[in-house]
Amino acid sequence: MYQALYRKYRPKDFDSVVGQDHIVKTLKNSIKNHTFSHAYMFFGSRGIGKTTVSKIFARNVNCLNSKDGLACGKCSNCKNSFSNECVDIIEIDAASNNGVDDIRNLKSKVSLVPAELTYKVYIIDEVHMLSIEAFNALLKTLEEPPSHAIFILATTDPQKVPETIISRCQCFSFQRISPEIIVNKLVEICKNEKIKIDSDVLYNIAVFSEGGLRDSIGLLDKLISYNPNNITMDDFTEINGIISEGMIKEFSNYVFSGDVKNVLLSISDFENDGKNLVQIYIQLLNYLRKIIVDYFLSNTLLDYSIDLLQKFLFVLNENMFDIKNSDNSRVFFEMIVLKFISDNSLFKNTVSNISKGVNDSTAVIIESNDGDNAIEDVVLGKEEPDDILVDESKMKSLTDLNSNIRKVVNLADIMKVRVNNTLAMANKKLLIEEKDKFKELQDYSFDQKIGYIVCSLLDSNLRAVSENEMIISFNLKSTVDQNLVILSSIEDVYNKITNSNKKIAIVSDDDWEKIKSEYISNLKNNVSYKIEEEPDEIFENLNNDDIITSSAINLFGDIVEVE
């Protein structure tokens, strides 16, 4: 019977494991010095060696004559541990044995001494699938296991494992295996199996598998079944539902030239030809990464600006998870690309240099009035920006427009009053409570919509708190300026997450030291702070004929952010 290549070439000893040298070295030394732990946790993505290393460790730790942490392969324990019938190395699939009764059954057998080996080794795969009750049942055993028992917990999702379990394990993070290492392993397999294959196919297999050696070998196995004679790139693209690099380059040219028609036609053709749009999306991401890396390492010439390439790469990477889990990958792909084109004003026949002349430090509000409803978005102008962000859900017909561009000119005065009012009613107890509220922000740091605001708040220093205001500071003055521009968004996000109603004052760390010194001095001199009325925002109107206003409005409608 034919044996799958990933099973045939599965490592049987530590020296055969590739890409996890730091873990292998640590485990070998622990066996050599008899300092191994009673519980381990191995975590990382699929197909990178967690279960394989677990089994190798179980065999080596039981060897009676191990040398430098490696099993001899000759003693009675080695012969028993390599047998498929060994009863002392127990592998449990937590995905199908995740109930509390399953763990209680395990606990009842843990106290029994090994039948053949020195140690009983329990390998619990996908341990994050256990129920809370099952974790609680396992906890006491992990805390005080019998001397003859070793637990190895393997998972692809350590975030779902309770901290109480993790804290009782020695944890190892398995890394994705580099393409170079994967290619070397595939070359070795191809030589042994006498397989003819183009070298560029091997590299593409390594990239396609995203660091998983098992997936790489499995894909090679599939290609051998498809064409056992001479595997080419055409075979690779056909079997995986992807496109050639030339087609990826052509598609990216359509994107950067703003050729919306050909972008949409290309995506339609890909789908009609039975291609995998998610994999093409990943191909495009990897293609852009290669261009950018080559530019910085080899100073290669670019057809488009490095800034534009990096922006598109960031957008694709940011939405990777969503397109993989989207019910309609075609619509998602189309919208991501079209939004990038519109955000960066790449449409053909649009006015060039639309945002020229915006001052670097200007806080701008583009306001659209529609009857009694006014929508305002604060954005930061940069010198010679090339971005226009369009809120498509709020676009109206051009005949309804009545737009103005204004900038806030008294932000400094507003911050001064907020600092004063915070210090007037500052309370240490409130400061401690607010610091606890800040911890709630961490759950939202990876949120795609508000994560950047949450991370900015987490990077700040909470300085003083009153019932209605608080002061935060940042190290750099430029960071302060950037966050002042989106202050209303920061307040909104913070107050919604923490269920608060705080006004926020933002200062630099240097300014805070001055404010604190003055505050301490005033306290010593019995000078009290009095609550002041916060001034209304004062705006400076810009000329409606300005190129920014007229061109942006004519192109995109009434809701436009100029960066």
pLDDT tens string 405-455: 356 778 889 999 999 999 999 888 899 889 888 888 888 877 767 877 888
Burial of 210 from C-beta contacts in 10 A (0-12 / 13-18 / 19+)? middle
Q: Which of 49-53, 61-65, 252-256, 375-379 has the lowest mean pLDDT?
A: 375-379
The class level of CATH for 179-240 reads mainly alpha
Distances (CA, A) of 181 to 18, 65, 208: 7, 31, 14
Instruction: For 507, list phi and psi in degrees, rounded to 5.
Output: -135, 170
Q: Taking the domains of the chain in order of start, what are their residue ranges?
A: 5-173, 179-240, 245-343, 363-403+547-562, 411-537
pTM higher than 0.85, yes or no? no
Does pLDDT of 353 surpass 80? no
Does pLDDT of 554 surpass 50? no
Does pLDDT of 545 surpass 80? no
Q: Tell me, what's the pLDDT at 295?
A: 87
Q: Which of 198-212, 322-336, 364-378 has the lowest mean pLDDT?
A: 364-378
Q: Which residue has the higher pLDDT, 370 or 458?
A: 458
Return the DSSP state at 536: P
The model's confidence at residue 366, banded by pLDDT at 50, 70 and 90, is: very low
CATH dotted code for 245-343:
1.20.272.10
**Terminal Cα-to-Cα distance of the chain (whole angstroms):** 64
Q: Tell me, what's the pLDDT at 111?
A: 84
The model's confidence at residue 368, banded by pLDDT at 50, 70 and 90, is: very low
The one-letter code for the residue type at 71 is A
Task: Return the closest-CA partner of residue 548 out of 530, 531, 561.
Answer: 561
Distances (CA, A) of 399 to 65, 215, 353, 558: 87, 56, 24, 10
The one-letter code for the residue type at 421 is N
Instruction: Give the tens place of pLDDT for each residue, 37-81.
Output: 899 999 988 888 899 999 999 999 999 888 888 888 888 888 888
Task: Return the closest-CA partner of residue 253 out of 391, 371, 346.
Answer: 346
Does pLDDT of 302 surpass 50? yes
Q: Tell me, what's the pLDDT at 104?
A: 84
Q: Identify whether the C-beta of residue 75 lies closer than 8 Å to the C-beta of residue 63.
A: yes
Q: Identify whether the C-beta of residue 42 lies closer than 8 Å to the C-beta of residue 56.
A: no
Q: Tell me, what's the pLDDT at 347?
A: 66
Q: Tell me, what's the pLDDT at 348?
A: 57
Q: Tell me, what's the pLDDT at 542?
A: 47
Q: Tell me, what's the pLDDT at 550?
A: 42
Q: Tell me, what's the pLDDT at 540?
A: 65
Can you read off the two tokens belonging to residue 428?
Answer: 């240490």
Q: Tell me, what's the pLDDT at 137?
A: 84
Q: What is the mean pLDDT of the chain?
A: 80
Task: Return the closest-CA partner of residue 449 out of 497, 514, 520.
Answer: 497
Sheet of 469-474, strand order: 461-465, 469-474, 503-508
Complete DSSP assignment for 296-333: HHH----SS-HHHHHHHHHHHHHTHHHHHT-S-HHHHH
Task: Return the closest-CA partner of residue 515 out of 411, 426, 408, 410.
Answer: 426
Does pLDDT of 197 surpass 60? yes
Alpha helices in 400-508 (DSSP H): 411-424, 428-439, 451-458, 477-485, 487-498
Q: Which of 226-240, 280-294, 437-451, 455-469 has the lowest mean pLDDT?
A: 437-451
Task: Return the closest-CA partner of residue 474 out of 507, 504, 425.
Answer: 507
Can you read off the two tokens belonging to residue 27?
Answer: 């485990």
Q: How many helices (H) and strands (E) does the chain have?
A: 24, 16
Residue located via tokens 């598998």: 209
pLDDT more than 70, % of the chain = 84
Task: Return the closest-CA partner of residue 333 out of 291, 286, 276.
Answer: 276
Q: Which CATH architecture has domain 411-537?
A: 2-Layer Sandwich (3.30)
Distances (CA, A) of 190 to 9, 202, 277: 11, 10, 30
Residues 6+ apart with CB under 8 A from 437: 498, 500
pLDDT more than 90, % of the chain = 21
Q: Identify whether the C-beta of residue 48 lies closer than 8 Å to the C-beta of residue 206.
A: no
Q: Tell me, what's the pLDDT at 504?
A: 94
Q: Which residue has the higher pLDDT, 549 or 228?
A: 228
Task: Return the closest-CA partner of residue 562 out of 386, 368, 338.
Answer: 386
Does pLDDT of 473 surpass 90? yes
Does pLDDT of 506 surpass 90? yes
Q: Which of 103-107, 179-183, 406-410, 452-456 has the lowest mean pLDDT?
A: 406-410
Does pLDDT of 85 surpass 90? no
Tell me the mean pLDDT in the region 219-242. Answer: 88
The model's confidence at residue 385, banded by pLDDT at 50, 70 and 90, is: very low
Task: Return the closest-CA partner of residue 150 out of 81, 70, 68.
Answer: 81
Task: Return the closest-CA partner of residue 60 out of 125, 10, 91, 14.
Answer: 14
What topology does CATH give the domain 5-173?
A: Rossmann fold (3.40.50)
Q: Identify whether the C-beta of residue 2 lies closer than 8 Å to the C-beta of residue 114.
A: no
Does pLDDT of 381 surpass 90? no
Does pLDDT of 266 surpass 70? yes
Pick the most confident of 82-96, 102-116, 502-516.
502-516
Q: Identify whether the C-beta of residue 151 lies closer than 8 Å to the C-beta of residue 90.
A: no
Tell me the mean pLDDT in the region 486-498. Answer: 89
Does pLDDT of 351 surpass 50? no
The model's confidence at residue 487, banded by pLDDT at 50, 70 and 90, is: confident
